[in-house]
């Protein structure tokens, strides 16, 4: 009979990666640029199938309007700038370097950055997109 330790390791390996959250675009900006998205700890898949791949989760909190909130802040792998709906891009012509996500009630907030340094607050974002669970 295997020990509990080995059983837990087997269960962890069988579980695989985290499941993606499917989110519906709420704001006009999200509806016209990203469409609905699928979001997990590895990437965002946009409404047109384009992806933004993350390198690392770099923080678990973030400052919004002067308040510290639980959040996920990701570095983007290779600073990407995918073409999205209607030829739009997340930050215009500049590649995205970081993404921060947090909840505001039932709304998922997604801030994107084109900065060389990791953001600690929403102050330097180039765009903000909002989503809800469908």
pLDDT tens digits, 82-130 = 999 999 999 999 999 999 999 999 999 999 999 999 999 999 999 999 9
Q: What is the pLDDT of residue 83?
A: 97
Residue 8 resides in a domain: no
On the 0-12 / 13-18 / 19+ scale of CB atoms within 10 A, 100 is: buried
pTM, to two decimals: 0.85
Q: What is the pLDDT of residue 122?
A: 96
Pairing of strands 96-104, 67-80: antiparallel
Residue 2 resides in a domain: no
SS3 33: helix
Q: What is the pLDDT of residue 19?
A: 74
Residue 80 resides in a domain: yes
Total domains, the chain:
1
Q: What is the pLDDT of residue 18?
A: 58
Retrieve residue 123's tokens.
């102050």
pLDDT tens digits, 73-83 = 999 999 899 99
Q: What is the pLDDT of residue 20?
A: 86
CA distance 39 to 75: 14
pLDDT tens digits, 18-61 = 578 999 999 999 999 999 999 999 999 999 999 999 999 999 99
DSSP result, 88-124: --EEEESPEEEEEEEEETTEEEEEEE--SSPPSBGGG
Q: Which domain holds residue 85?
A: 22-132
Q: What angle (nearest 5°) sits at the alpha carbon of residue 39, between those of residues 53 and 88?
A: 65
């Amino acid at each position: 009979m295997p020990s509990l330790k080995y059983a837990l390791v087997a269960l962890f390996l069988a579980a695989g990666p985290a499941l993606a959250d499917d989110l519906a675009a709420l704001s006009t900006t999200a509806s016209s640029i990203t469409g609905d998205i699928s979001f997990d700890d590895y990437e965002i898949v946009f409404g047109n199938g384009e992806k933004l791949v993350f390198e690392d989760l770099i923080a678990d909190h973030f400052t919004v309007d002067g308040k510290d909130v639980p959040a996920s802040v990701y570095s983007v792998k290779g600073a990407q700038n995918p073409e999205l709906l209607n030829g739009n891009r997340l930050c215009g012509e500049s590649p995205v370097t970081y993404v921060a996500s947090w909840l505001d009630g039932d709304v998922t907030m997604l801030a994107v950055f084109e900065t060389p340094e990791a953001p600690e607050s929403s102050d330097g974002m180039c765009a903000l997109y909002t989503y809800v669970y469908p």
